[in-house]
Amino acid sequence: MTGSLLQIDNLSVPLPKGADRPFAVQDLSLTLNRSEILCIVGETGSGKSLTALAAMGLLPKNLPRATGRIAFEGTDLLQIPEAERMHLSGRRLAMVFQEPIASLNPVYRVGDQVAEVIGLHSDLSAAQIRQRVLDLFTEVRLPDPQALMRAYPHQLSGGQCQRVMIATALAMDPALLIADEPTTALDVTTQAQILQLMLDLRRQHGTGILFITHDFGVVAEIADRVAVMRHGQLVEIGPAAQILRDPQADYTRQLIAAVPRLDPRPPGRSFGAAVLAATGLTKTYHTRTLFGASRRVEALSKVDISLRRGETLGLVGESGSGKSTLAQCVIRLVQPDKGDVVIDGGTFTGLRGRALREARRRVQIVFQDPYTALDPRQPIGRAVAEGPLIHGLPRAEAWARALDLIAAVGLDPASAKRFPHEFSGGQRQRVCIARALAVRPDLLIADESVSALDVSVQLQVLELLAEMQQQFQFGMLFITHDLRVASRICDRIAVMRRGRIVEEQATQTLFADPKDPYTRDLLAAVPGRDWRDGPRHKEPADG
Amino acid sequence: MTRFWLIKFARTVLTLWFVVTFAFVVLRTSGDPVVALLGADAMPDEIEHFRELWGLDQPLFVQYLSYIGQMATGQFGVSLRDSRPVMDIILERLPATVQLGLAAFALAALVGIPAGILAALRRGGWLDRAIMALAVFGFALPNFFLGILLILLFSLTWQILPSSGSGTFRHLIMPAVTLATFTAGTLARFTRSAMLEVLERPYMRAAAAKGVPAWKRVLLHALPNAAIPIVTVIGLNLGQLVAGAIVVETVFAWPGIGRLLVIAVSQRDLAVVQGLVLVIAVTMVLANLMVDLLYGVLDPRIREAAR
């Protein structure tokens, strides 16, 4: 059979009255062929996820009815009754979600959750189903499938949960797989494996894949064709090679230009006095393994770091590598078991009470999620002025400083009386940066501070951080899982794994000549790294 | 595992000791039991004799020690009023209360939980509003009032149900309904909010994407996850059920321990009151222990933490 597998004609998803625009998705038309991977790319609010949900019949119930046509194997998915939909879902079309751990039911064993879909859509016996689940777990390369089948979701890592979700989606060998940001919550090396898994599936089963993502790096790795969406509308659609190398629409060009690349910051900047010296930091946690045995986790093991004024040190690692624990030990949110932290020549580790409060002023932190990091009932001007006030600045001076900083981070000082919800995510992160800088810290910790932002916003916030550092000459500890981001802003990078620093180098040296095998793995896993350097080696799209 | 249960056990003993001591202190310091028992115009030597007989002439501390000693060895004394062993009196009344309590509890669960689920599924609709209005009505209505209202309607006006006593199923209906109303209303509200939270979870969307039919999604995927807060409320409400039983048994002349308690307190029959307090405390502690156990059954994460 030839022709398109999924054909979307004039799909519109209206928003309720009072929303900032009338349509979440407006007049969208696109097709997906068999054995094809079509990536839908867009930023927050582009409508890409709602398009996927519309196809699965999972649109939020508070939205008005979607209009248009989504044809799949001769049926219009927008028109079929619930019973027919349940007969198709999980069997002919399946979906993988962004939050793998939350997408599994916490009270059932993962093996049973995969078995459920087979039980629903086939007449296999219990033993046959068990065998099929075992085969699926093996196919998605879960370690020790026999034991993992009996595990509960909370006992697995994010990557393992996503493999379980993919196994669930593949159980009935569907013709169409919809994947909504399936690797966004995962580490880069895990992401690389999951993307490879998707390519293998397409080759072996001829599955058509609708892949929703915000990451052009991921697009470069797997897409046959690309659709770019913005504000609910299709901006541009075409073969991956053409969109990636020769985009026609201005918006696509902007998006691609904003994609963080491996672009190491050149060495040779000059730095001031030492601002941070941490020596021998050690922190051990006690947890339990999957089967109940007690286990010690060395979150940090004899870690040394140092930083000078005006310098940026990147801490790069995957989840569980200890990079956040390190930052928390530096700021004394977590008490290290051993080791010393010296900030500006003064010991930080033994301080208490007033002295600790005063010392904390010198260290400020900008968190990952700008949506939860600001008090929703506090106008942003007050949020920025609060720190200086606490540390004894007169009211008028504190307010003047807050207004200066709000202007410095690129917001209108007149908006100081507005509340956080009136700002976008990127603007809120600017407020957070202004708030951190208001107490004139000597050390700024940026903990995944740009990870939750759209790429275009991400770039702006990175530039802002560099500019502020130029102006105020603070030392910056920049924590990220994204090597591309780290490369642009860091003078030195420390790669962390299992509580240790495996390699620390000047940024350019690290990328040009990585010494540690793990650093090389991390670099190799960066999605889309070959995209600008030459032709891609990708398998053809014929099943 | 053992450490977890040792802590639980130690807590249970501590709770019971606390309750028993509290009952002792309150009863001994709130008036002279002998005077209450024999009447204000009893002869002084009669009162003296009675005191000696029951050891009430001893210092309070000595009385407390011997009382704790008896409790710990399972001797609950004899009634001051008719000299029968306290446990005999309580045990002969207990089945009636258990019957009433279980009936009311089953009724509350069978009405409250499905009503809460329905309200959550029809959130914002007329059914939701109607169920919630009834639920508020249910737990705002004092049960002595509801009891009297039911008697007025079903016994006096329509004469289809007996107004008091026990024995047949027809006797059970009105007391059970009265007692269940409060719990049913509370359960409906908590079930609704627990379900609403669970229905929004990503795994519910994932279940729909697997093709699980709607009723199975609700019963097999949402309900087990909503069960933890529901079970918590059930545990807390057992106390309400016991408190309610005291009122309801009095209104309907139901021969259970609730009514026994009222009589024993008004007659200052110390041994009986203390025995009843202990029985009720043990019931509550056991109920809460069962709730803790149920948490483990319901949620693998709690099961693991308890290990």
Report the CATH number that the domain containing residue B209 is assigned in CATH.
Answer: 1.10.3720.10
* Interface subset of A 143-162, CB within 8 angstroms of B: 152, 154-155
Please work out, in degrees rounded to the nearest 5, the angle formed at the alpha carbon of residue B20 by the alpha carbons of B15 and B22.
Answer: 95
- Of A207-216, A322-331, B30-39, which one has max mean pLDDT? A207-216
Q: Which residue of A has its CA nearest to B210?
A: A90
pLDDT band at A532 (very low <50, low <70, confident <90, very high): low
Strand partners, A340: A279
A2 contacts: CB under 8 Å, gap ≥ 6? A34
Rounded average pLDDT over A95-116: 93
Interface residue of A58, A77, A86, A165 to substitute, partner B, most B CBs within 10 Å: A86
With 60 as the cut, is the pLDDT of residue A291 above it? no
Please work out, in degrees rounded to the nearest 5, the angle formed at the alpha carbon of residue B78 by the alpha carbons of B75 and B81.
Answer: 160
Does any domain span residue B77?
no
How far is the alpha carbon of A80 from chain B, nearest alpha carbon, in Å?
14
Of A74, A140, A151, A162, the residue nearest A107 (C-alpha): A151
| Same domain, yes or no: B32 and B129 | no
Of A178, A180, A166, A105, the residue nearest A138 (C-alpha): A166
How far is the alpha carbon of B289 from chain A, nearest alpha carbon, in Å?
21
Q: What is the pLDDT of residue B1?
A: 53
Instruction: Enumerate the residues of chain B whose CB falls inside 8 A of the CB of residue A97.
Output: 202, 205-206, 209
Q: What is the DSSP letter of A154?
A: G
Does any domain span residue B11?
yes
How far is the alpha carbon of A435 from chain B, nearest alpha carbon, in Å?
33
pLDDT band at A538 (very low <50, low <70, confident <90, very high): very low
For residue B161, count CB atoms less than 10 angstroms from its CB and return exposed for 0-12, middle for 13-18, buried for 19 or more: middle
H/E run at residue B74: none
Strand partners, A76: A71
Q: Tell whether A168 lies on the interface with B, counting CB pairs under 8 A.
A: yes
Instruction: Enumerate the residues of chain B whose CB falls inside 8 A of the CB of residue A292.
Output: 304, 307
E strands in A137-204: 176-180
pLDDT digits (tens, 9 = 90+) for A299-342: 888 999 999 999 999 999 887 788 888 988 888 888 888 888 88
Does any domain span residue B197?
yes
Does any domain span residue B157?
yes
Of A83, A85, A154, the CB nearest to B301: A154
pLDDT digits (tens, 9 = 90+) for B71-123: 778 777 788 778 888 888 999 999 999 999 999 999 999 999 999 999 999 99
How far is the alpha carbon of B123 from chain A, nearest alpha carbon, in Å?
11
Please give the ipTM for the structure prediction: 0.80
With 80 as the cut, is the pLDDT of residue B235 above it? yes
Does any domain span residue B78?
no
Q: Do B299 and A106 count as a contact with CB atoms less than 8 A apart?
A: yes
Chains A–B, number of C-beta pairs less than 8 Å apart: 79
Rounded average pLDDT over A179-204: 87
Q: Which residue of B has its CA nearest to A87?
A: B211
Query: How many percent of chain A have pLDDT more than 90?
Result: 47
Q: Which residue of A has its CA nearest to B301?
A: A154
Q: Which residue of B has its CA nearest to A293?
A: B307
| Same domain, yes or no: B206 and B286 | yes
With 50 as the cut, is the pLDDT of residue A539 above it? no
Q: Do A86 and B212 count as a contact with CB atoms less than 8 A apart?
A: yes
How far is the alpha carbon of A298 from chain B, nearest alpha carbon, in Å?
21
| Same domain, yes or no: B168 and B195 | yes
Bigger pLDDT: A361 or B126? B126
| Same domain, yes or no: B163 and B25 | no
Does any domain span residue B82?
no
Q: What is the pTM of this model?
A: 0.80
| Same domain, yes or no: B6 and B118 | no
DSSP letter for each residue of A434-464: HHHHTT--SEEEEESTTTTS-HHHHHHHHHH
With 60 as the cut, is the pLDDT of residue A543 above it? no
Interface residue of A105, A164, A170, A181 to substitute, partner B, most B CBs within 10 Å: A105
Q: Tell whether A212 lies on the interface with B, counting CB pairs under 8 A.
A: no
Q: What is the pLDDT of residue A67?
A: 93
Does any domain span residue B112?
yes
CA A487/CA A490 separation, integer angstroms: 6
Of B40, B72, B104, which residue is a domain's last? B72
CA A322/CA A297 separation, integer angstroms: 10
| Same domain, yes or no: B229 and B257 | yes
Does any domain span residue B102?
yes
H/E run at residue B133: helix B126-140
pLDDT band at B296 (very low <50, low <70, confident <90, very high): confident
> Are A483 and A523 spatial neighbours (Cβ–Cβ below 8 Å)?
yes
> Are A183 and A8 spatial neighbours (Cβ–Cβ below 8 Å)?
no
φ/ψ (deg, to 5) at A492: -135, 150
Q: Do A116 and B212 count as a contact with CB atoms less than 8 A apart?
A: yes
Q: Do B211 and A102 count as a contact with CB atoms less than 8 A apart?
A: no
H/E run at residue A282: strand A274-288
Q: At what angle do helices A380-390 and A425-437 cross, to 10 degrees?
A: 20
| Same domain, yes or no: B22 and B100 | no
pLDDT digits (tens, 9 = 90+) for A408-461: 888 888 889 999 888 888 889 899 999 999 999 999 999 888 887 888 788 888
Q: Tell whether A189 lies on the interface with B, counting CB pairs under 8 A.
A: no
The least confident of A130-139, B39-48, B86-95, B154-163 is: B39-48
Q: Tell whether A120 lies on the interface with B, counting CB pairs under 8 A.
A: yes
What domains can you pick out in chain A, each with its CATH number?
1-92+177-261 (3.40.50.300), 99-171 (no CATH), 274-525 (3.40.50.300)
State how beta strands A37-41 and A93-96 pair. unpaired
| Same domain, yes or no: B35 and B117 | no
CA A16/CA A22 separation, integer angstroms: 7
Q: Which two tokens stand for residue A61?
A: 């119930």
End-to-end alpha carbon distance in chain B: 4
Q: Do A116 and B213 count as a contact with CB atoms less than 8 A apart?
A: no
pLDDT digits (tens, 9 = 90+) for A482-524: 888 898 899 999 999 988 999 999 999 998 889 999 999 888 8
Of A89, A104, A292, the CB nearest to B211: A89
How far is the alpha carbon of B295 from chain A, nearest alpha carbon, in Å?
11
| Same domain, yes or no: B155 and B290 | yes
| Same domain, yes or no: B58 and B198 | no
How far is the alpha carbon of B248 from chain A, nearest alpha carbon, in Å?
39
pLDDT band at A290 (very low <50, low <70, confident <90, very high): low
Interface residue of B4, B210, B223, B230 to substitute, partner A, most A CBs within 10 Å: B210
With 60 as the cut, is the pLDDT of residue A540 above it? no
Q: Tell whether A58 lies on the interface with B, counting CB pairs under 8 A.
A: yes
How far is the alpha carbon of B111 from chain A, nearest alpha carbon, in Å?
25
Bigger pLDDT: A302 or A354? A302
Q: Do B206 and A82 count as a contact with CB atoms less than 8 A apart?
A: no
How far is the alpha carbon of B197 from chain A, nearest alpha carbon, in Å?
13
The least confident of A39-48, A283-292, A325-334, A359-368 is: A283-292
Q: What is the pLDDT of residue A288?
A: 60
Instruction: Count up the domains in chain B and report the number.
Output: 2
Of A528, A26, A46, A526, the residue nearest A240 (C-alpha): A528
| Same domain, yes or no: B37 and B107 | no
Residue B101 CA, chain-centre distance (Å), reads 7
A98 contacts: CB under 8 Å, gap ≥ 6? A180, A181, A182, A184, A185
Instruction: Enumerate the residues of chain B whose CB falls inside 8 A of the CB of residue A152.
Output: 300-301
pLDDT digits (tens, 9 = 90+) for B139-162: 888 888 888 898 888 888 888 888
Instruction: Enumerate the residues of chain A whose CB falls inside 8 A of the CB of residue B210.
Output: 89-90, 94, 116-117, 120, 168
Q: Do A95 and B209 count as a contact with CB atoms less than 8 A apart?
A: yes
* Interface subset of A 349-378, CB within 8 angstroms of B: none
CA B218/CA B202 separation, integer angstroms: 14
CA A225/CA A240 separation, integer angstroms: 5
Q: What is the DSSP letter of B16?
A: H
CA atoms within 13 A on the CB side of B103: 18
Strand partners, A480: A316
Strand partners, A286: A296
Of B48, B72, B96, which residue is a domain's last? B72
φ/ψ (deg, to 5) at A411: -110, 160
Of A83, A85, A105, the CB nearest to B203: A105
CA A467/CA A480 separation, integer angstroms: 19
How far is the alpha carbon of A522 from chain B, nearest alpha carbon, in Å?
30
| Same domain, yes or no: B246 and B295 | yes
CA B4/CA A532 separation, integer angstroms: 59
Q: Do B307 and A292 count as a contact with CB atoms less than 8 A apart?
A: yes
Q: Which residue of A has its CA nearest to B213?
A: A86
The parent domain of residue B128 ranges over: 87-305
Query: How many percent of chain B have pLDDT more than 70?
Result: 97
Of B272, B256, B266, the residue nearest B85 (C-alpha): B272
Of B11, B41, B72, which residue is a domain's last? B72
Q: Do A106 and B304 count as a contact with CB atoms less than 8 A apart?
A: no
Q: How does the average pLDDT of chain B come out, rounded?
A: 86
Instruction: Enumerate the residues of chain B whose CB falls inside 8 A of the CB of residue A165.
Output: 206
Query: How many percent of chain A have pLDDT more than 70?
Result: 95
